[in-house]
């Protein structure tokens, strides 16, 4: 799906995507479960994540481990990096690749591909990263640093085209790519059928807890079009009603 058109409609939270209020209104009209969930969970918001490279790198670090463990491991990796550089000192070729300026004290640390490529493998291993995750991170950094990926073009690309660009990177499967579309690019109509939380939420909210197949989940989600990302967010929140950290 192509990126949603911008709308002048305002929402109550500054971090919400511009389409959120419209999506919630339409989902509440079309789906009985969401008509109940959205008012209950309306204060919980989907906030945009960091820059493209940092978002993907952090998702790799967190694969198959708990959230607290992922945060600890990510912090250890950040401690290996040099102090952030000013955006003005970066080469224009890097700035064109959607690299961000250094964070303020309240903002997350942006990681540059070139920074990661300068780290020693043994230091990354000593920080707690498995050999496989080190390989994944370095392959991701090479894809960005070489120009194989062009984040500045993604805003105009269809979802599936972006997914196919990301899948050749080691450690990036379809679920990771779909999470990237939702949390970084804020695409409105992503349906991550490989997500266990979504399937569980559909089971509990629509099938009284009975097992649900992918085809049954897809049938439920037909009523969510073209706002599957928003519907998925509220289904997730119905399981654990607190804001997700990107």
Q: How many whole angstroms from its chain centre is CA 107?
A: 17
Task: Please say whether the dihedral angle defined by the alpha carbons of residues 15, 17, 18 and 22, taken in this order, is positive or negative.
Answer: negative
Alpha carbons 42 and 177: distance in angstroms, whole number? 26
Which one of the listed residues 31, 51, 159, 195 is annotated catalytic?
195
Rounded CA-CA distance 82/84 in Å is 6
* 195 catalytic residue (yes or no): yes
Nearest alpha-carbon partner for 199 in 175, 223, 218, 217 = 217
List active site positions: 195
């Amino acid at each position: 799906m192509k990126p949603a058109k911008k709308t002048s409609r305002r929402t109550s939270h500054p971090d919400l995507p511009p389409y959120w209020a419209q999506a919630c209104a339409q989902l509440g009209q079309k789906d009985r479960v969401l008509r109940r969930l959205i008012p209950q969970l309306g204060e919980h918001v989907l906030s945009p994540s960091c820059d493209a490279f940092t978002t993907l790198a952090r998702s790799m670090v967190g694969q198959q481990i708990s959230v607290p463990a992922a945060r600890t491991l990510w912090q250890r990796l950040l401690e290996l990096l040099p102090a952030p550089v000013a955006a003005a000192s970066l080469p224009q070729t890097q700035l064109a690749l959607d690299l961000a300026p250094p964070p303020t004290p309240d903002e997350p640390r942006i990681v540059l591909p070139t920074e990661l490529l300068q780290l020693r493998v043994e230091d990354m291993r000593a920080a707690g990263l498995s050999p496989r995750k080190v390989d994944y991170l370095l392959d991701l950094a090479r894809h960005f640093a070489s120009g194989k990926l062009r984040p500045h073009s993604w805003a105009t690309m269809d979802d599936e085209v972006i997914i196919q660009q990301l899948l050749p990177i080691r450690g990036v499967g379809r679920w990771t790519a779909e999470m990237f579309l939702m949390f970084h690019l804020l695409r409105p109509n992503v349906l991550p059928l490989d997500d266990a939380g979504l399937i569980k939420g559909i089971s509990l909210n629509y099938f009284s807890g009975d097992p649900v197949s992918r085809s049954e989940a897809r049938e439920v989600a037909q009523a969510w079009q073209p706002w599957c990302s928003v519907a998925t967010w509220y289904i997730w929140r119905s399981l654990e009603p607190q804001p997700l950290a990107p």
